[in-house]
């Protein structure tokens, strides 16, 4: 059956990443995946987080905050509701975990990088776009630290990106938009490192249980999609 977007099952939406879109942030990236647009900024703080200092821990830290602007979706969401959104808190933790997994905290020194991911327009896959664009912003902030003599070595071990996939009308599809996500039988998000190793897998049978073989096949599909995103990351960071 033809997808609502008319894409092939393994075809991603058009993707673009524009860097240096915020003149104040040490790193910034506007990522667009189809109708999903996310502004990602990276801010450097020359100090460890309080909990690390209190525990006498060495090294730096990477953390993230995610939110949607009030009219990122079809119906306006009040700013008060956004601040109390548990979904945003969960996605913030996901982004932080994903980015920390590829960073050597000792090489980062006693610095903290905060990634802010603000969804300007949502059409499915906002968390995965945030991880992918957030990495670009973080890499730019790391380069800023190195260029200005604050750290000596690049603490980033490898690139990381994320993509959604799912089971829709009995078929496995890549990079779900909102219409597909709403009707998916299985909805999954994958965070994958450049090496092909998986960092995080979030998969839910929305309408019925799914087979182990389906998860294995969809992981291969996601890994292939992530490699394309990482290739684009490298192009914009070159």
Question: Phi-psi region for residue 170, left (φ > 0), alpha (ψ -120 to 50) or beta?
Answer: left
* Residue 5: inside a domain: no
- When mean pLDDT is compared across 11-20, 25-34, 93-102, 211-220, the lowest value belongs to 211-220
Confidence of residue 83 (pLDDT cuts 50, 70, 90): low
* pLDDT, average across residues 104-109: 98
* Residue 9: inside a domain: no
* Residue 6: inside a domain: no
pLDDT in tens, 196-236: 999 999 988 877 888 888 889 999 999 999 999 999 999 99
* Residue 178: inside a domain: yes
Residue 163 has pLDDT above 90, yes or no: yes
* Residue 96: inside a domain: yes
* Residue 30: inside a domain: yes
* Residue 10: inside a domain: no
* pLDDT, average across residues 73-93: 85
Q: Return the beta strands (E) in 34-145 as ranges.
A: 36-45, 61-68, 112-121
The CATH number given to whatever domain includes residue 105 is: 3.30.230.70
Confidence of residue 112 (pLDDT cuts 50, 70, 90): very high
* Residue 134: inside a domain: yes
> How many Å is the Cα radius of gyration of the chain?
18
**What is this structure's pTM?**
0.95
Residue 11 has pLDDT above 70, yes or no: yes
Mean pLDDT of the residues in the chain: 94
- The C-alpha atoms of residue 173 and residue 18 are separated, in whole angstroms, by 26
* pLDDT, average across residues 40-53: 96
- CA 160 from centroid of its chain's CA atoms: 8
Residue 117 has pLDDT above 80, yes or no: yes
Nearest residue to 143 via CA among 21, 23, 28, 24: 28
Residue 35 has pLDDT above 80, yes or no: yes
Count of structural domains within the chain: 1
DSSP annotation of 153:
S
Which residue segment(s) compose the domain that 50 sits in? 15-237
- Please report the pLDDT score of residue 21 as a whole number: 97
- Please report the pLDDT score of residue 151 as a whole number: 97
What angle, 0 to 180 degrees and rounded to 10, lies between the N-to-C axes of helices 86-100 and 126-147?
50
Q: Which residues contact 162 (CB under 8 A, 6 or more apart)?
A: 98, 127, 128, 129, 131, 132, 189, 190, 191, 192, 200, 226, 229
């Amino acid at each position: 059956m033809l997808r609502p977007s008319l894409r092939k099952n393994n075809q991603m939406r058009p993707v673009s990443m524009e860097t240096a879109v915020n003149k104040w942030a040490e790193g910034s990236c506007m990522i667009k995946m189809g109708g999903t647009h996310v502004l990602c900024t990276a801010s450097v703080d020359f100090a460890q987080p309080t909990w690390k200092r209190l525990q006498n821990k060495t090294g730096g830290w990477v953390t993230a905050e995610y939110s949607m602007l009030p009219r990122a979706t079809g119906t306006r969401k009040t700013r008060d509701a956004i601040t109390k959104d548990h979904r945003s808190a969960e996605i913030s933790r996901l982004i932080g975990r994903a980015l920390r997994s590829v960073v050597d905290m000792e090489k980062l020194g006693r610095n903290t990088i905060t990634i802010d991911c603000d969804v300007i327009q949502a059409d499915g896959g906002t968390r995965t776009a945030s991880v992918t664009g957030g990495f670009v912003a973080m890499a730019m902030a790391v380069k800023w630290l190195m260029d200005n003599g604050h750290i000596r070595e690049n603490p980033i071990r490898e690139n990381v990106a994320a993509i959604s996939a799912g089971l829709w009308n009995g078929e496995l599809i890549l990079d779900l938009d909102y219409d597909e996500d709403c009707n998916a039988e299985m909805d999954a998000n994958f965070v994958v490192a450049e090496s092909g190793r998986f960092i995080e897998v979030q998969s839910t049978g929305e309408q019925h249980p799914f087979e182990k073989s389906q998860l294995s096949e969809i992981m291969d599909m996601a890994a292939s999609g992530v490699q394309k995103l990482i290739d684009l990351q490298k192009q914009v960071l070159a």
